[in-house]
Structure 1
Amino acid sequence: MIYIYNDYGGTHTTSLAAAYHLKKLPSNRKLTKDEIQSVRYFNKLTKHDLGKLIFHGIDEDNNPVYTIGRRNSKYVVPAIQEFAALLQERNQLSEKVIISNTSPTVPFVMSVGGFLARGLNINFLGEPLLVAGAKQCCEKIDRLVEETKKMSHSMTAKVIVLENKKFH
């Protein structure tokens, strides 16, 4: 299986989701500031990274984990979905692809922090808000990742798109 976590910017909730997926963060508790800031790519990607699949690692079942920032484009996820299906039809890809949206976990404070840090380049104001937002939503992200893994094993489709609206 190939896991792809996606959201607006691809650097906050997606990075946390990838870290949870790869068991680089402790589960079932709020994260500390240091744990959040040590997550690879957390608040480090820029607009030049949008639309790029960012590799985070291989999970315990030997599945690759990626993230992508899609901005407001409603076409990124369907394009990935269609491309994966095309590769599968042509026998170029035998793995199931799971595309999981982390946007429903984003609290307002994280949106403001992301806008300040990534949008306006005012990191000294944005980063504390991002950390506060990550502390608010980390348990939701952890549950989203567990649900994503569970759904990937229970569904038979070769390409699975999870909108995760129940995490709102």
Structure 2
Amino acid sequence: MIYIYNDYGGTHTTALAAAYHLKEITQSERKLTKEEILNVNYFNKLTKEDSGKIIFHGIDENGDSVYTIGRKSNKLVVPALKNMSLLLHSKYPFNEKIIFSNTSPTVPFVMSMGGFFSRGIKIDFIGVPLLVMGAKQCCDNIFRLVENTKQIGQSSNDEKVIILENEIYK
């Protein structure tokens, strides 16, 4: 199975989702610390040039691959990837189910502002604290989104490619 978490920039909620999925960070009663957030692979590290790149994060406990992609505001990226995946499935049969999971619904306003300041206009001293605050606000929702994504992936659904637009998990 292949999991691909996607959102606008591919460097905040997607990085956290991949880290939860791979158990690099774990859910608990407490919020993540600033250090835990900033130490997540790729968190706030990707640039505009990384947009559209499918980034490998690791293999989960079930042997499934976990990736992320920043799709910017282009709503056609994931459907195009789905169609390409289906084309490859038909031309070169393989048994990998592919799950595209949108993390955008988990993004709080403060994280959007942090991403704008830090990644957009390179003002980290304003952006990074906002990103950390936003990550602390949404980490529970991201964890639930990942658990739901994994559950759907493990279901006996015969679809070869699944797109999850998701909703806020409360």
Count of residue correspondences = 168
Once residues 153 and 119 of structure 2 are traced to their aligned partners in structure 1, the CA distance between those partners, rounded to angstroms, is 32
Once residues 97 and 65 of structure 2 are traced to their aligned partners in structure 1, the CA distance between those partners, rounded to angstroms, is 11
Check if 1:156 corresponds to 2:158.
Answer: yes
Structure 1 contact 100–163 (Cα < 8 Å) conserved: yes
State the Cα distance separating 1:124 from its structure 2 match: 1.1
Spell out, residue by residue over 1:17-63, the C-alpha distance to the aligned partner (whole angstroms, 9 max, x if none).
00000000011331111100000000000000000001000000111
Normalising by structure 1, we get a TM-score of 0.97
Q: Report matched runs for 1:14-93 at 5 Å.
A: 14-29=14-29, 30-93=31-94
Structure 1 contact 57–64 (Cα < 8 Å) conserved: yes
Q: Report matched runs for 1:3-18 at 5 Å.
A: 3-18=3-18
- Is 13-22 or 74-83 further displaced after alignment? 74-83
Once residues 109 and 86 of structure 2 are traced to their aligned partners in structure 1, the CA distance between those partners, rounded to angstroms, is 35
- Is 73-82 or 13-22 further displaced after alignment? 73-82
Normalising by structure 2, we get a TM-score of 0.96
Structure 1 contact 7–101 (Cα < 8 Å) conserved: yes
Opposite residue 110 of structure 1, the aligned amino acid is M
State the Cα distance separating 1:92 from its structure 2 match: 4.5
Identity, % of aligned positions:
63
Once residues 8 and 106 of structure 1 are traced to their aligned partners in structure 2, the CA distance between those partners, rounded to angstroms, is 10
Once residues 110 and 4 of structure 2 are traced to their aligned partners in structure 1, the CA distance between those partners, rounded to angstroms, is 24
Opposite residue 52 of structure 1, the aligned amino acid is K
Structure 2 contact 3–100 (Cα < 8 Å) conserved: yes
- Is 68-77 or 23-32 further displaced after alignment? 23-32
State the Cα distance separating 1:166 from its structure 2 match: 4.2
Structure 2 residue runs without a partner (length 5+)? none
Aligned to 2:107: 106
Spell out, residue by residue over 1:67-122, the C-alpha distance to the aligned partner (whole angstroms, 9 max, x if none).
00001001110111011111111124320000000000000000000000001111
Spell out, residue by residue over 1:138-162, the C-alpha distance to the aligned partner (whole angstroms, 9 max, x if none).
0100000000000112232110000
Opposite residue 11 of structure 1, the aligned amino acid is T
